[in-house]
Structure 1
């Protein structure tokens, strides 16, 4: 028995979310952000954000013992963060540093349009391998790390620290898990060769859980640029055969389990041989169920009138997926938990207080049917429909 089910390390911030009045009708965020324009809002929400808080709080809500590992500043935003962490009894592994502000994000999400982020990495730029609590990691079943594009020390020098970190955790016999954020094309991280970094990191990565947009930008940057330039929703424009090639490529690079989050298109799963994961003796995945799978799970329907926030939905989906894996669930069940948790996140401003717990999600999964299909069958079906 280990003390923690999971250590979640990396990027933590405070999200500041303007609450827009319901009568605001826009088709693009740019309709609001025009010089000289004044927009009256209903208020401002402040919540913990970043992979450490989002995934950590959700996993605790799902009854897992978690240890959060990150940095906050001693500024006013840091005081907000510390108070929230103390409230949820999650501040044990969060260190306060002086002289640099806490990371924060301004989340602009008016009704009916995709959200926009203004992100200040703050003291997370200082976070490096020396801030990882390896004693806590060694006493955990799983190590989940997130948002390298916002953590300068982990992408500089060709990702030297990221690669070294995952090799060290892998050697400790702890299951490794990696999540990402979208690199800003105009920032230092946007000029990094992420493909080469991932090629050297994924051999030590048991679970890789990027979004579709993130994965495409890093692995197939040329295709990403073409798709991004086209009109319409990015996720809708990515062809299924390209998603399939993406998943297969990530497994070929060394990841044992690849979960790609595709928003309203659901989640996609690719796996290799999970024997190396089971050798660590912290998970017990059935080889017959988990080996060499390619699956798609449809998104759960969203009641638009219940949506409160779109921030953190991907992190919550990953939290549910990891919890299901820790519980020994099948691939299909783990994907369903991820899909329903990501949907439920939309109905919450405070994930820990408002989120449905594991028992409630399990009950819903038994009540509401949802597709889990082979990716190849899905591609054949899509091709058949297009020929009609």
Structure 2
């Protein structure tokens, strides 16, 4: 049995820091560091889950190229099941230039590549049936699954007794709620970032109103990643949890939202209450931002619990 199968975006991230301005056209500028990292929601959330001791499978598509080799080898070395990663002979592996500014904020130049070619035919549904949770990362960057294919995947998973989780990315095509509306009745855990959630919910300003909007459209539990403000979680039964972010020195916010999702889902796998799931999400997100790269700072289970204790969190002994 696999605890979580992550389906969706796999990206090779070329991360540079600090970059506060581009060099003049045709000129060269020096930066402190440039590194190659595995990125995208499947890699980031999946790696963090594996580091927390949660058995995890990665499902997606990469090219038959150096970036694709790097991603599959890296994820396997992190302990993920990579047998569900397809290789595309026509499309190159998706990649992102990540420009990390001095204050830790990031800007991106992104190439969709093989992620855009991922379809239902590439996904081994038997692997999903053997999982406790199906996590989709990210809607809006998976055009081959847009619309009916995504509904079919989520619906079939629910019918097979698999709980479903959905994360989003920024929608450069500006479809927002019109695209995901049909997905929501089949989503157990909806975990978007605050800015994306607001866009989908018609620019509402209060996290409670935004969460209610999605609950009213069929989601069972909404977890909003509020960045420096922490998180807000609300269930269809009316349970609410709001926690501030941990106060830690931020080096790089890349992957922080994906790390939060990993902590939250780890709590779900371990059948913890929503408050403890929120603490785990905040703790894993805090670990992430203290190092350069999307997963470099993510800690193991016991180290994460120790970080929670240091910040006045609840007891996790059962």
Q: Does the pair score TM above 0.5?
A: yes
Given candidates 136, 153, 168, the residue that maps to 1:165 is 153
2:199 maps to 1:292: no
Please give the secondary structure, in 1, of the residue aligned with 2:165: strand
**More helix by percentage:** 1
Q: Encode CA deviations 1:122-144: one digit per residue, 9 max, x unaligned.
A: 01111011122211111111100
Q: Which deviates more from structure 2 when the two are superposed, residues 207-216 or residues 32-41?
A: 32-41
Q: Contact 2:50–2:79 at 8 Å: present in 1 too?
A: no
Given candidates 100, 106, 123, the residue that maps to 1:115 is 106
Q: Contact 2:51–2:78 at 8 Å: present in 1 too?
A: no
Q: TM-score, normalised by structure 2?
A: 0.92
Please give the secondary structure, in 2, of the residue aligned with 1:356: coil
**Displacement after TM superposition at 1:353 (Å):** 5.9
Q: Contact 1:163–1:197 at 8 Å: present in 2 too?
A: no
Question: Structure 1's 153 and 303: CA in aligned 2 closer, same or farther, altered over 3 A?
Answer: same
Q: Encode CA deviations 1:81-109: one digit per residue, 9 max, x unaligned.
A: 23312322432221211121000111001
Q: Contact 1:58–1:351 at 8 Å: present in 2 too?
A: no
CA RMSD of superposed structures (Å): 2.0
Question: Structure 1's 349 and 331: CA in aligned 2 closer, same or farther, altered over 3 A?
Answer: same
Please give the secondary structure, in 2, of the residue aligned with 1:93: strand
2:62 maps to 1:72: yes
- CA distance in structure 1 between the aligned counterparts of 2:193 and 2:88, rounded to whole angstroms: 31
- CA distance in structure 1 between the aligned counterparts of 2:286 and 2:255, rounded to whole angstroms: 11
2:228 maps to 1:264: yes
Which structure is larger by alpha-carbon Rg, 1 or 2? 1
Equivalence for 1:176:
164
Please give the secondary structure, in 1, of the residue aligned with 2:265: helix
**Displacement after TM superposition at 1:151 (Å):** 1.0
Question: Structure 1's 32 and 352: CA in aligned 2 closer, same or farther, altered over 3 A?
Answer: closer
Counterparts of 1:63-142 in structure 2, within 5 Å, are 63-90=53-80, 91-112=82-103, 114-142=105-133
Counterparts of 1:140-151 in structure 2, within 5 Å, are 140-151=131-142
**Displacement after TM superposition at 1:349 (Å):** 3.8
2:297 maps to 1:341: no
**Displacement after TM superposition at 1:197 (Å):** 3.1
Counterparts of 1:18-97 in structure 2, within 5 Å, are 18-20=16-18, 29=20, 31-32=21-22, 35=25, 38-90=28-80, 91-97=82-88
Q: Encode CA deviations 1:155-194: one digit per residue, 9 max, x unaligned.
A: 3xxx12111211111111100000000111xxxxx143x3
Equivalence for 2:302:
359
Question: Structure 1's 58 and 113: CA in aligned 2 closer, same or farther, altered over 3 A?
Answer: closer
- CA distance in structure 1 between the aligned counterparts of 2:242 and 2:79, rounded to whole angstroms: 36
Q: TM-score, normalised by structure 1?
A: 0.76
**More strand by percentage:** 2
Please give the secondary structure, in 2, of the residue aligned with 1:7: strand
**Displacement after TM superposition at 1:355 (Å):** 2.3
**Displacement after TM superposition at 1:114 (Å):** 2.1
How many residues get paired? 313
Question: Structure 1's 110 and 209: CA in aligned 2 closer, same or farther, altered over 3 A?
Answer: same
- CA distance in structure 2 between the aligned counterparts of 1:369 and 1:246, rounded to whole angstroms: 28
Q: Contact 2:2–2:132 at 8 Å: present in 1 too?
A: yes
